Structure 1
Amino acid sequence: MIPRSSSLRLSLSLLLPISAAAASVAAPKKNVLFLIADDLNTMLGAYGDPLARTPNIDKLAARGVRFDRAYCTYPLCGPSRNSMLTGLYANSTGIHNNSQIFRETIPNQLSLPQAFRQQGYFAGRIGKLYHYNVPNSVGTAGHDDPASWELQLNPAGVERTEEHPKITTLTPGQFGGTLSWYASPKSDEHHTDAMLAADAEWVLERSAKPNQRPFFLAVGFFRPHTPYVAPKDPYFGYYPREKMRIVPDIKADQADIPAAGLASYKREQDNMTDDQRRDALQAYYASITFMDAQVGRVIDALDRLGLAESTIIVFTSDHGYLTGEHGLWQKQSLFEESARVPLLIVAPGVSKAKTAAASPVSHLDLFPTLAELAGITAPANLQGQSLVPLLRDPSLTGRGWALTQMMRGGGGGAGKGKAKAATAKAESGGGRFSGYSLRTPRWRYTEWDEGKQGRELYDHDSDPRELTNLATMPAHTTTVAALSTQLQAAVKTTFPPSGQVPEFINSTWPPILVGP
C-alpha cells in the first residue's frame, strides 16, 4: 500500500518508467540507495560518541567502510548539496548561499542522479536532497531539480502541519535558522522522517519485483535539522538532561580565534542558560536517534526484499554541526565539527566489512565513486576522485587532504564582538571574502581572505578539539608556510577552467525559498 502521505503525489506517468522495457537490459547493474541526513555531525555510536544511541547506523557502518575523515566542501545546506550532487566545488557551481540552485548558473551540468537516469536507471527522490527551507518547505519540492528524478515524494508530518505553536525557539516565529526544539507526544508514524521511510519501503517493494530497471533511490531525512523534533517516547527518554555535556571554557578558547572564524555566532544565543543548552543538546540527540530508527526501517526493507547484495548503500550528511564548541551552534564555520561529516559506503563485492579509512576524503568524491561502482559514464569535469581504491583497501592514503570553503561578509553571519566588527568592516568595504580550510591527516589549516583576516592551525594529533591556534606561534612558521602553499594549490582546483566563478543566468527556474 502506498503511504497516505504520498499517494496523492503519485501519478501513473511517474510510476510506469520504473519497469518499462527492463527485460531488454543485458546484464544486471548495481542499485544505489543514497541516504542523507540533515545537519548531522559525527555524534554517532559508529564514530565513538559515548552517549549516542544509533544502532541502525552503527550496523550499517559494520557492513562496509566507515570514512573517519570525510568533509563537506561548504558547511551550508544549499552550497553543500549542490556541490555534492554535481561533483563540483562551490566556486565551480557558483552557489554560495541557500537561495539558488546550480541550474541558474551552470544549467547544462549533469547531476549525479541525472547521470544515472540518463543511463538506464530509475531515479527517485524522497524528501530533502537539494536545499529546502526547513521546516517551512517540508511537504514541497523545495529547491529541487526536476531533471534529476522520475519520481519525487514530499510528505509532511505533524512537526510541519500541526506543532509549530508548541516548539520552543530562541527567536519567536523562527524555527529553522535558530535553535528550536520540541518533544512531540505523537508517535513515529506521524512525523516526516517516518513517512519518508514508509515511502522508501514502498519504492523498494516495487523495485524488487521481476523485470525492473536498476534504481538510484535517494532518501533525504530532515532530522536532526532544527527544529529538533522527535517523539518524546522513547527518544527523549534515552538522553537524561543531567547527562548532557556543556562545552566549558568558551572565552578562553575564543581568545586566539580570528574574528572571521567566529562570525557564524548568532546574537539570540547570548542569553542561553545552561538548562537551555542541555535541552537543545538533548533534543538534538533525540532527533538523531529518531532518524536512525527510520534509516533502520529502510535498510531492513532492503534486506527483507533480497536487494542488499545488489545495492550500493551510501549514508552521509550535508555538513557537520556545532553544539556549543567554540561558543558556536549550528554550521557556517570551518571548525572540525562543522566541516566533518559521517560517511559510510557499502559496496557489495568491493568494500570490506567492519573497516575504516583514515585518509581525508570529500563529498566531491561520491559522484565518481558511484559512477565507477555502477559502471556508468560520469561527466569529464568532476573535481573529486573515486574512492573505489579505498573501498578495496582502506589503508591507502588517497588524495591526502580535503578542502572546505565558507564565505564571510555580505550579510553572512551576525557575529559578536570582534567577529561582528570584522563582518561590518568587510561589508563597509563592499566586499565578501572566503575562508578556506585544508584538512590533512594531522593538521587543519585555515586562511581567511588569503590570511589577511586571520589564520588558524590546529594539530589533531595533540589537539583534536581545536582549542589551541598555533598559526602565529614562531615554532610553527615552517608548518604554516608549507600548508599555505598546499592550500593555495588546492584552492586553484576549485574553479572551472575559465578561472571565474559562474554567475547567475536568468532562467525559467523560479527561486522558491531563501531560508537556512
Structure 2
Amino acid sequence: MPRTFFALVALACLIPLSTFAASAKPNVLFIMADDYRPELASYGSSAITPNLNRLAARSLQFDRAYCQQAVCNPSRSSMLTGLRPDTLGLWNNGTHFRELKPDVMTLPLWFKQHGYETRCSGKIFHNWHTKEKGDARSWSAPEFLFYANHGDDKPQVKGELPPDTAKAPKCECRDVPDDAYYDGRVAAEAIRVMSEVKDKPLFLAVGFWKPHAPFNAPKKYWDLYQRDKLPPLNAARPTGAPEIAFHDSREILGTGDKRVTLTPGDEAEMRHGYFANISYLDAQLGKVLDALDASGMGEKSIIVFAGDHGYHLGEHGLWAKTSNFEFDARVPLMISAPGMSSAGKKTESLTELVDLFPTLVELCGLPPVEGLEGTSLTPILKDPLAQLKAAAYTQHPRPAYYDREPEKRPKAMGVSVRTPSVRYTEWRDWTTGRTIARELYDAVTDPNELTNAIDSPRLASEQVQAEAALRRQWRPKSSVDQ
C-alpha cells in the first residue's frame, strides 16, 4: 500500500493537532536530560520525580524508545539532524557533525527557517571536545550555558562555601541553592526566554546537564533518599557475553595511574548521588513547567522530554555508558501535544530518537524535510497500540572512545537491534567487516540481560527475525564503507 495512504491516515487521526498547527503554530518546549535511565522517569519508580510525573500525566510515555549510539555527541547529532550515525559518519565525541556535513539541516534550524524564534538554554548539541561550539546557525540568539565541561560544574555561592560531606569519587554534597550549579541557571534562563519572546512562535530547547556525573546535587536532594533503601546493585556480568561487549568505565573510574577502585560504600554513595541528581533535575523541570503554564502557553505548546542515552550504575560491572546493552540504549521519552487523546498513557511501540525530527515537523504543520531517516510518531500519539517499526537500532565502536586513541579510528563496531522480544548484537571488525562476536538477550524473560542466549533453540525464531532486521539496517561490511 502506498506510503502516502499511511500519511493521510495518520493526519486524519490527528485532526485536533493538525488543525491547531494550521491555524496558529504551537510553541515547542524541547527538554533534554543527560545520562538518564528511563525506568527512573516512570511514575512509581524509586526516584522522587513529582514534576516528571505531572508531565507524564499530560504526555504519552514511550517505554521502548532507543538512542542510536550511547554517548553524547553521536546520539545528539543523530537526533537533531534526523540522520543515523553511519549516515553522518560520526561515532565519537571529538568530531562536530558540521566538519563532516557542513550544510546538514538541524531540527531547530528548520523551525527557525519557518518562522520560529529558536532558543537554547543548556546542553542540547554536544558540549565539549569539538572545534565548533554548539551550532550557532540553529538559533535565533546566542546559546546559553551550552558548551562546558561537566567536571567544571562547581558550586557558585555568595559568601563562604558550605562543607562537602560526600566521600566517594565523583560525589559532592553541599547545602547550596539550586542555582549554584548549571541546571538551576539553565532553568532560570529558560524562564526568562519564555517571558521575553512574545511576537513569534517559540521553539525553546532546554538542556539539563543532569543526572550526568559528577553526583553533586544540592544537599536537600540527597536528603530525599535513604541510601540503604535504594535498589540494590547486581553487578553480575551476563554469562556467555563476549569481552568486547564491555568497556573500562573510564568516564567514572579513570585510566592509568588515576584509575580508582570502588569500595561497596563508594558504589552505594555514587548510586545515591545519581538519584539526588535526578531529583535536582526534576525540581528545575518543575520551575520551567510552572512558568510555561503561568504564561498561558501550556495548553498551546508541544512538550518533549527526552534523554540522550541510558546509563549503567555498576550493573554488568559497568559505570556510565558506551555499550549496546539495554541499560545504555534505552532512553526516557515523553511527548505532549495539544488535543491528543493519549495523555497520561504509555506505549510499548518501538521508537528511536531519530524519529523526533519528523514528528515535530508534522505536529507543527511545517513542510517535510527531505532525507530524514526517522519516522513520525504522530500515529502512536493517536493510538498507543500502533506499531510503526519492527526494530530499533543502536551501535557503538570499540574502543568506546576511539577519538582518544592514536589511530583516530575504531577497531570494531557493535551493531545492535532491539525487536519486541529480543536484543541481538553483532560485533564486526572495522577493517574486514567480519563478525567477531554475537549476543542475544531475551527481553521478555531476561530484561536485565544476564544471559547471552545466542543460538538458543528456544529463541531460534526470534533470532532469525532479529538477524534479518539487523541486516536491513547494516550490510555485513557497512561500517568500513564510510
Q: TM-score range by the shorter chain?
A: 0.7 to 0.9
Counterparts in 2 of 1:482 and 1:270: CA distance versus 1, 3 Å = farther
- Which stretch has the larger CA shift, 107-116 or 474-483? 474-483
Counterparts in 2 of 1:33 and 1:79: CA distance versus 1, 3 Å = same
1:305 and 1:180 map into 2 onto residues whose CA distance is 38
TM-aligned CA deviation for residue 45 of structure 1: 5.0
2:442 and 2:417 map into 1 onto residues whose CA distance is 12
2:400 and 2:340 map into 1 onto residues whose CA distance is 46
Q: RMSD value over aligned CA atoms? A: 3.2
Is residue 260–residue 453 contact of structure 1 (8 Å, CA) maintained in 2? no
Q: 1:225 and 2:212 equivalent?
A: yes
TM-aligned CA deviation for residue 451 of structure 1: 7.1
Q: 1:126 and 2:103 equivalent?
A: no
- Tell me the SS of whatever aligns to 2:269: helix
Superposed, which structure 2 residues align to 1:166-181 within 5 Å?
A: 180-181=170-171
Match of 1:358 in 2: 348
- Tell me the SS of whatever aligns to 2:463: helix
Superposed, which structure 2 residues align to 1:397-436 within 5 Å?
A: 397-409=387-399, 412=402, 432-436=411-415
The correspondence for 2:24, drawn from 19, 25, 28, is: 28
- Tell me the SS of whatever aligns to 1:160: coil
Counterparts in 2 of 1:411 and 1:290: CA distance versus 1, 3 Å = closer
Is residue 70–residue 323 contact of structure 2 (8 Å, CA) maintained in 1? yes
Counterparts in 2 of 1:100 and 1:351: CA distance versus 1, 3 Å = farther
TM-aligned CA deviation for residue 495 of structure 1: 7.8
Superposed, which structure 2 residues align to 1:478-489 within 5 Å?
A: 478-489=461-472
Match of 1:215 in 2: 202
Match of 1:277 in 2: 267
Counterparts in 2 of 1:245 and 1:216: CA distance versus 1, 3 Å = same
Counterparts in 2 of 1:159 and 1:410: CA distance versus 1, 3 Å = closer
Letter in 2 for 1:83: S
1:378 and 1:110 map into 2 onto residues whose CA distance is 12
2:132 and 2:172 map into 1 onto residues whose CA distance is 23
Counterparts in 2 of 1:264 and 1:72: CA distance versus 1, 3 Å = farther
Q: Deviations over 1:261-295 (max 9, x none)?
A: 11254465762111000110010000010000000
Superposed, which structure 2 residues align to 1:66-465 within 5 Å?
A: 66-133=61-128, 143-155=133-145, 159-160=153-154, 180-207=170-197, 209=198, 212-232=199-219, 234-248=220-234, 250=236, 253-266=237-250, 268=254, 271-409=261-399, 412=402, 432-449=411-428, 452-465=435-448
Is residue 324–residue 396 contact of structure 2 (8 Å, CA) maintained in 1? yes
Letter in 2 for 1:159: D
Is residue 187–residue 231 contact of structure 1 (8 Å, CA) maintained in 2? yes
Counterparts in 2 of 1:431 and 1:392: CA distance versus 1, 3 Å = closer
TM-aligned CA deviation for residue 480 of structure 1: 2.5
Unaligned runs of 5+ in 2: 1-20
- Tell me the SS of whatever aligns to 1:458: strand
1:490 and 1:437 map into 2 onto residues whose CA distance is 10
- Tell me the SS of whatever aligns to 2:397: strand
Is residue 410–residue 432 contact of structure 1 (8 Å, CA) maintained in 2? no
TM-aligned CA deviation for residue 104 of structure 1: 0.6
TM-aligned CA deviation for residue 431 of structure 1: 5.8
Letter in 1 for 2:352: S
Is residue 83–residue 89 contact of structure 1 (8 Å, CA) maintained in 2? yes
Letter in 2 for 1:241: R
- Tell me the SS of whatever aligns to 1:218: strand
Unaligned runs of 5+ in 1: 1-24, 171-178, 415-422, 502-516
**TM-score w.r.t. length of structure 1:** 0.79
Counterparts in 2 of 1:298 and 1:451: CA distance versus 1, 3 Å = farther
Match of 1:174 in 2: none
Match of 1:7 in 2: none
Q: 1:466 and 2:416 equivalent?
A: no
2:114 and 2:77 map into 1 onto residues whose CA distance is 21
**TM-score w.r.t. length of structure 2:** 0.85
Counterparts in 2 of 1:486 and 1:30: CA distance versus 1, 3 Å = same
Q: Deviations over 1:121-180 (max 9, x none)?
A: 0000001011113xx99xxx98301110012343499933658x969797xxxxxxxx61
TM-aligned CA deviation for residue 188 of structure 1: 1.0
2:366 and 2:226 map into 1 onto residues whose CA distance is 48
- Tell me the SS of whatever aligns to 1:91: helix
Is residue 69–residue 358 contact of structure 1 (8 Å, CA) maintained in 2? yes
Is residue 389–residue 396 contact of structure 1 (8 Å, CA) maintained in 2? yes
Letter in 2 for 1:33: L
Is residue 75–residue 406 contact of structure 1 (8 Å, CA) maintained in 2? yes
1:213 and 1:166 map into 2 onto residues whose CA distance is 45
The correspondence for 1:59, drawn from 27, 42, 54, is: 54
2:247 and 2:320 map into 1 onto residues whose CA distance is 12
Is residue 86–residue 110 contact of structure 1 (8 Å, CA) maintained in 2? yes
Q: 1:41 and 2:31 equivalent?
A: no
1:38 and 1:260 map into 2 onto residues whose CA distance is 25
Is residue 256–residue 469 contact of structure 1 (8 Å, CA) maintained in 2? yes
Is residue 239–residue 450 contact of structure 2 (8 Å, CA) maintained in 1? no
1:500 and 1:331 map into 2 onto residues whose CA distance is 26
Counterparts in 2 of 1:167 and 1:448: CA distance versus 1, 3 Å = farther
Q: Deviations over 1:11-34 (max 9, x none)?
A: xxxxxxxxxxxxxx9942011100
Q: Deviations over 1:39-75 (max 9, x none)?
A: 11114252542x2000101110110200000000000
- Tell me the SS of whatever aligns to 2:28: strand
1:237 and 1:299 map into 2 onto residues whose CA distance is 24
Counterparts in 2 of 1:203 and 1:41: CA distance versus 1, 3 Å = same
TM-aligned CA deviation for residue 301 of structure 1: 0.6
Counterparts in 2 of 1:265 and 1:84: CA distance versus 1, 3 Å = same
Is residue 238–residue 449 contact of structure 2 (8 Å, CA) maintained in 1? no
TM-aligned CA deviation for residue 190 of structure 1: 2.1
Counterparts in 2 of 1:243 and 1:491: CA distance versus 1, 3 Å = same
1:374 and 1:26 map into 2 onto residues whose CA distance is 8
Q: Deviations over 1:80-111 (max 9, x none)?
A: 01000000001111211111211111111110
Is residue 434–residue 476 contact of structure 2 (8 Å, CA) maintained in 1? no
| Percent identity (aligned) | 39
Size of the alignment, in residue pairs?
444
- Which stretch has the larger CA shift, 89-98 or 38-47? 38-47
Is residue 234–residue 314 contact of structure 2 (8 Å, CA) maintained in 1? no
Q: Deviations over 1:304-349 (max 9, x none)?
A: 1100121100001111111111111100011111011000000111
TM-aligned CA deviation for residue 453 of structure 1: 2.6
